[in-house]
């Protein structure tokens, strides 16, 4: 399987889902969720190859200009680009990449502005945990004016020496998360599951009783291996 790309093309899809959702999450949720996902995978001896936290909020139009000015002062090392209709700010480091995006859309004369923040990394180490404990809460507090809706994802690679079938891995991981499957999809080299786990408080929405998704893929290219991605309440990256 090729490296799972970091994309924001799914923003529109996420936006629709978030608008349907009946709950908001907090900074504490984002911090707890990403660390819980990583902890379970590490307990299962799964190598973490990537992680991301995505947060989103609708911003009142009159607050956009003030927020941009504040962020440019608070984040002097970030690179800003774009116009008032679509502004992007990026901060890259060797291990962690952060992006802020503000997009304004005109729908029947009404302007809606969405503020989005995503951070991703390829490693899970002490620097990652330091960032999540010390930097992430401040970032979300500075960027968002209310309780941002957040999504957390972790990517991993399974030691495939035993050559187990994908349904075996799926069952084992659902058990590790103490999760109950709501629905699933199975193909020859790919399997996915939407589930409910007591490890995560929020559900996708009042109409969707699920709070985590799991995807597993087996590939023979460049050596046989099994990769996975797990997210709460949904997976927000391509896999």
The whole-number pLDDT of residue 130 equals 94
Cα–Cα distances (Å) from 135 to 92, 99, 127, 142, in that order, read 14, 14, 11, 11
Q: What are the residue boundaries of the structural domains of the chain, listed by start?
A: 11-55+122-232
Least trusted range by pLDDT, from 9-23, 47-61, 62-76, 97-111? 9-23
- Residue 205 confidence class, pLDDT cut points 50, 70, 90: low
pLDDT 10s digits, 117-169: 999 999 999 999 999 999 999 899 889 887 788 999 999 999 766 677 899 99
Indicate if the pLDDT at residue 69 is higher than 80. Answer: yes
Indicate if the pLDDT at residue 32 is higher than 60. Answer: yes
Range 52-64 average pLDDT: 86
């Amino acid at each position: 399987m090729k490296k799972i790309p970091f994309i924001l093309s799914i923003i529109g899809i996420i936006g629709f889902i978030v608008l349907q959702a009946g709950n908001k999450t907090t900074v504490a949720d984002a911090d707890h969720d990403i660390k819980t996902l990583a902890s379970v995978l590490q307990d299962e001896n799964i190598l973490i190859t990537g992680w991301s936290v995505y947060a989103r909020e609708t911003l009142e139009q009159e607050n956009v200009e003030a927020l941009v000015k504040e962020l440019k002062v608070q984040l002097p090392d970030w690179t800003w680009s774009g116009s008032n209709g679509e502004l992007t700010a990026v901060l890259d480091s060797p291990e962690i990449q952060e992006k802020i995006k503000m997009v304004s859309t005109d729908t029947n004369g009404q302007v809606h502005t969405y503020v989005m923040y995503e951070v991703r990394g390829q490693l899970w180490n002490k620097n990652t945990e330091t960032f999540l404990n010390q930097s992430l809460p401040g970032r979300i507090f500075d960027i968002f004016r209310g309780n941002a809706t957040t999504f957390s994802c972790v990517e991993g690679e399974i030691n495939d020496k035993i050559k187990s079938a994908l349904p075996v891995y799926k069952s084992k991981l659902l058990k590790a998360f103490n999760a109950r499957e709501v629905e699933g999809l199975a193909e020859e080299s790919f399997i996915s599951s939407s589930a409910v786990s007591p490890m995560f408080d929020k559900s996708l929405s009042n109409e969707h009783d699920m709070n985590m998704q799991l995807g597993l893929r087996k590939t023979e290219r460049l050596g046989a291996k099994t990769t996975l991605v797990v997210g709460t309440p949904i997976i927000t990256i391509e896999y």
